[in-house]
Amino acid sequence: MTPPLPAPALNPVETSHETRLLAARLKHERVRRSWSIAELAKRSGVSRAMISKVERAEASPTAALLGRLSGAFGLTLSTLLSRAESSGERLARAARQPCWTDPRSGYVRRAVSPPTGGPLELVSVVLPEGARVSYPASAYAFLYHQLLVLKGTLRFREGATDHVLRPGDCLEFGPPADCTYANGGPGNCRYLVAVLRR
């Protein structure tokens, strides 16, 4: 076990908006897990004093320190930073939900969940007629998935198992496996995916 990082000597810090957002996010991640500051210190190797200062926005954390804290939370540094920069809104209005379209298949993925970083993520997908999208088993590691078809017919291959899903059908994914989503038509297929981090 590496010794905790000591609290460095600090110059007076003018607290920026970003520092306050990051401080709030770090505290939120810790409290959400029901961890004390001592527990986070043990898991991250960062001193309790430094964690306390960072959470109160009295110190600007370094990349190394953030790397240790994000690792203790099981997050990448980029995920931690993007969560800190989110508005903190618990309501995600449809018009502001980020969408991404696959240029190859025309698949449209909309992140339905608020950007607050909870353990549950809801994703709405429109798969055009004739489109096929595949993902490797590694994309499903450490995640729990359920899929609910809202419109159309989805042909879903999970490893060696084929499923034909129609509106109202809900499938719980098995152990991680290569998966293919296919829409043979007619029309678009629309489905909702619920993802929970294990």
Most confident of 22-36, 52-66, 135-149: 22-36
pLDDT value of position 22: 87
Average of per-residue pLDDT across 144-164: 97
Yes or no: domain 17-85 corresponds to CATH 1.10.260.40:
yes
Residue that has been written with the tokens 């110059």 in this structure:
11
pLDDT value of position 125: 94
pTM confidence score = 0.61
pLDDT value of position 7: 41
Q: Which tokens go with 45? A: 């190797």
Cβ atoms of residues 133 and 127 within 8 Å: yes
CATH of domain 94-197: 2.60.120.10
Nearest to residue 195, comparing CAs of 169, 172, 179, 178?
172
48: pLDDT strictly greater than 50: yes
Average of per-residue pLDDT across 171-178: 94
Average of per-residue pLDDT across 37-64: 90
pLDDT value of position 3: 52
Domains of the chain, by residue range, sit at 17-85, 94-197
Mean of the per-residue pLDDT values of the chain: 84
The size of the chain, in residues, is 198
Cβ atoms of residues 134 and 161 within 8 Å: no
**6 vs 74 pLDDT, higher one:** 74
Q: Do domains 17-85 and 94-197 have the same CATH topology?
A: no
**153 vs 62 pLDDT, higher one:** 153
